[in-house]
Structure 1
Amino acid sequence: MNRPYTIIVSEVTVDGKLTLRRGYSSKEIMQFMDEEATRYLHQIRAKVDGIMVGAETVRTDNPFLTVRYVEGKNPTRIIPTSRADIPLDANILQKHAPTIIITTEKAPEDKVKALEEKVEVIRCGEDKVDLIKMMDILYKKGIKNLMVEGGATLNWQLFKYGLVDEVRLIHMPFIIGGKDTPTLVDGEGFKSLDEVVKLKLRSHFLRGSHLITEWEVKFED
């Protein structure tokens, strides 16, 4: 299978949280990112072909997913959603950049048709988005490098199926806590050390006051 080279990029607190509570927007934390760290994030956006977030991130954060703090072309925005459950006034449906909604055969027809009036919609999978097939489709559409900005459930699914090549983290100087607060990767988790995803630290540096760490996924033969 051909697939895009995939980089998960996220801001995380020192204890690995993405938001203040489940259902809260990550923008509350990101407002404390300084200018240099924000430019770092947008520099990555400007270099990739596509940028992906989950449907819950769209509903909660309502992001634009465009390049704004550096010079560069907007990547294609990609949203996997089993039920095509995207608000029709969402920012990602505006004309700032190309957008692809990946959904399923079971998605309600009325929702699919409403989205098709605004953006490209691709059905991929019966009742759940087939992420492996989706990656092959994206590669064939010219998405050779893909940036993923969450959320926690999408991150888990990508790791589960071995679809991640790098992780880049912008560390936020907070401790939030909370057993139900979303972390970088949620889902059911791996059950043994034989299954866990192993990483190799490639680089660490400061952008403004923020520590940045860049990790390579170690694929075993």
Structure 2
Amino acid sequence: MKTDFTMLLGFKAALFQGLLTTLKLTLICIVLGCVLGFFVGLARGSGSRWLRGTTRLYVEFFRGTPVIVQLFWIFFCLPLVLGVELSNLTSAVIALTLYMGAITSETFRASLRSVGREQLDACVALGLPKRIQVANVILPQALLRSIPTLLSNCVSLFKESALVSAVGMADLMFVGQNISNNTARPIEVLTAVALIYFAIAFPLTRAVTGVERRLLSKLAA
């Protein structure tokens, strides 16, 4: 069968709408996941053995199991456990947020450990409340040191978001699959979908390298 990529012009609006859904979902889960990951990272360094153990179990579970399995469990099993209905959007947000929280918590934990102990001792000596220490001393430095890895995590989440098509969410992958099935043109459609993902992920990946170089030079100065 001869390929004809011009046929995609008739579906550009649908593909664009699917891309918007993917980007919105990714952005929501990035924000929620980073907030969750920061607090989990703090808890991993807590003096409470129970809190450290619980958060470690959470991180190891969500880093050590496939995201598709997590998504399916939340979509199909969690409603049975809770006795409530969950939409595919809600299930996708929960699954990707928990995954993002797990991978970013390790990023934050490493950056939090890099904050000099003498600065924390100075905060204690000045009598600063714990929330002031976190907000004004620990958080800014931790964020600065974690930016390159966080950007890499964001790119990973963007690519993993394609899995939500498996639960019927109309993201870019789901729209592409539908167009492919209806037109019997999988080569053209799926190639276009892959190129769209690449066109967004590749510049971000290059940006990570640039940010990392600038950050290293700044920290070395």
What TM-score does the superposition give when structure 2 sets the normalisation length? 0.25
Structure with higher Rg: it is 2
What TM-score does the superposition give when structure 1 sets the normalisation length? 0.25
Higher share in strand = 1
